């Protein structure tokens, strides 16, 4: 609880993964991937309850090793490639409503293990203390993928500038500050999320993450990068 607001954290972890099979429980830097996010949520003093949503008994058993009980598995219709995170969140909120209700929900994806406990706590404070704000999401400054660096390619492989008529070359210091949605955290007032069915809207805040925390684990390349960053972080090199 923070400032009188009760807070639910949901960690979604589907069993099926095409990019990296079994990624949610694969060991990275000596610990199952999902364990990093569970420990972060448990260490955040403002979170009142943690709910792990999974369709996999294997993932549920791994979660139990970190002190999380999975009372029931996610329905099959919410475990497909087409099921949205919003559907999973609303289903979970309705499930828990029978015994308790919350003011705010945090979605913590296991695929973003580089976030810190302080990021969760700080983002929560910013949302609750900002008048008129209804949600807050992780964002990161765009560098290599900045629109000024993008081009089209025609069917003969000739390139053309994207969104303009001529090639304009800028130094990084001259670029406008633009951000992309990164996956470290999504937080919203529950009433807003149920009504809007999205974290993104005109009353959403951006919580800026540094570049190294914005990597998401979806395939083996991401795995190698994130594991190297974890080691560098442990050694205080970043």
Whether 52 and 16 map to the same domain: the answer is yes
Q: Is residue 206 part of a domain?
A: yes
Total domains present in the chain:
2
Q: Is residue 218 part of a domain?
A: yes
Q: Kindly report the CATH number assigned to the domain that includes residue 50.
A: 3.90.550.10
The pLDDT of 156-184, averaged and rounded, is 86
Bridge partners (DSSP) listed for residue 12: 53
- Average pLDDT of the chain, as a whole number: 92
Summarised one tens digit per residue, pLDDT across range 23-39 is 999 999 999 999 999 99
Q: What is the pLDDT of residue 77?
A: 82
Edge-to-edge order in the sheet of strand 204-208:
49-54, 7-13, 104-107, 179-189, 135-141, 204-208
Point out the domain boundary residue: 159, 177, 195: 177
Whether 227 and 157 map to the same domain: the answer is no
Whether 187 and 227 map to the same domain: the answer is yes
Whether 46 and 150 map to the same domain: the answer is no
Whether 149 and 98 map to the same domain: the answer is no
Q: Bigger pLDDT: 230 or 78?
A: 230
Summarised one tens digit per residue, pLDDT across range 116-157 is 999 999 999 999 999 999 999 999 999 878 888 889 999 999
Close Cβ partners of 149 (under 8 Å, ≥ 6 residues apart): none
Q: Is residue 1 part of a domain?
A: no
Q: Is residue 26 part of a domain?
A: yes
Lowest mean per-residue pLDDT among 58-62, 140-144, 157-161, 166-170? 166-170
DSSP state of 75: P
Backbone CA torsion sign across 50, 53, 59, 60: positive
Question: Is residue 168 predicted with pLDDT exceeding 80?
Answer: no
Point out the domain boundary residue: 177, 202, 223: 177
- Highest-pLDDT range among 76-90, 147-161, 179-193: 179-193
The pLDDT of 165-174, averaged and rounded, is 79
- Helices marked H in 57-174: 57-64, 85-96, 117-129
Q: What is the pLDDT of residue 60?
A: 95
Question: Is residue 82 predicted with pLDDT exceeding 90?
Answer: no
Whether 224 and 154 map to the same domain: the answer is no
Q: What is the pLDDT of residue 37?
A: 98
Whether 167 and 229 map to the same domain: the answer is no
Q: Is residue 2 part of a domain?
A: no
Secondary structure E strands in the chain:
7-13, 27-28, 31-32, 49-54, 104-107, 135-141, 151-153, 159-161, 179-189, 204-208
Q: What is the pLDDT of residue 234?
A: 92
Whether 58 and 155 map to the same domain: the answer is no
Q: What is the pLDDT of residue 23?
A: 93
Whether 195 and 94 map to the same domain: the answer is yes
The pLDDT of 59-71, averaged and rounded, is 94
Q: What is the pLDDT of residue 78?
A: 84
- Highest-pLDDT range among 9-18, 39-48, 70-79: 39-48
Instruction: Give whole-number Cα distances, 202 to 106, 138, 190, 207, in Å.
Output: 19, 15, 16, 15
Question: Is residue 172 predicted with pLDDT exceeding 90?
Answer: no
Per-residue confidence band for 232, with pLDDT thresholds at 50, 70 and 90: very high
Q: What is the pLDDT of residue 72?
A: 87
Whether 158 and 199 map to the same domain: the answer is no
CB 23 within 8 A of CB 66: no
Q: Is residue 29 part of a domain?
A: yes
CA gap 172, 28 in Å, rounded: 33
Question: Is residue 205 predicted with pLDDT exceeding 80?
Answer: yes
State which residues form the domain around 170: 143-177
DSSP state of 68: -
Close Cβ partners of 160 (under 8 Å, ≥ 6 residues apart): 151, 152, 153, 154
Whether 168 and 226 map to the same domain: the answer is no
Whether 113 and 209 map to the same domain: the answer is yes
């Amino acid at each position: 609880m923070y400032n009188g607001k009760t807070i639910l954290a949901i960690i979604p972890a589907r069993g099926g993964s095409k990019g990296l099979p079994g990624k949610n429980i694969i060991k990275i830097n000596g610990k199952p991937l999902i364990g990093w996010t569970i420990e972060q949520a448990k260490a955040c003093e403002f979170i009142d309850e943690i709910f792990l949503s999974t369709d996999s008994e294997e993932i549920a058993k791994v979660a139990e090793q970190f002190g999380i009980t999975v009372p029931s598995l996610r329905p099959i219709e919410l475990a497909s490639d087409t099921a949205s995170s919003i559907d999973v969140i609303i289903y979970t909120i309705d499930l828990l409503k029978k015994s308790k209700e919350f003011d705010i929900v945090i979605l913590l994806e296991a695929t973003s293990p580089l976030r810190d406990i302080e990021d969760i706590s700080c983002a929560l404070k910013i949302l609750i203390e900002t008048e008129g704000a209804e949600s807050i999401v992780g964002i990161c400054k765009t560098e290599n993928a900045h629109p000024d660096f993008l081009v089209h390619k025609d069917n003969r492989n000739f390139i053309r500038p994207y969104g303009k008529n001529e090639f304009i070359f800028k130094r990084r210091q001259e670029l406008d500050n633009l951000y992309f949605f990164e996956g470290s955290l999504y937080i919203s007032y529950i009433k807003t999320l149920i009504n809007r069915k999205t974290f993104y809207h005109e009353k959403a805040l951006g919580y800026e993450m540094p570049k190294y925390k914005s990597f998401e684990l979806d395939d083996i390349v991401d795995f190698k990068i994130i594991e190297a960053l974890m080691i560098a972080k442990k050694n205080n090199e970043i």
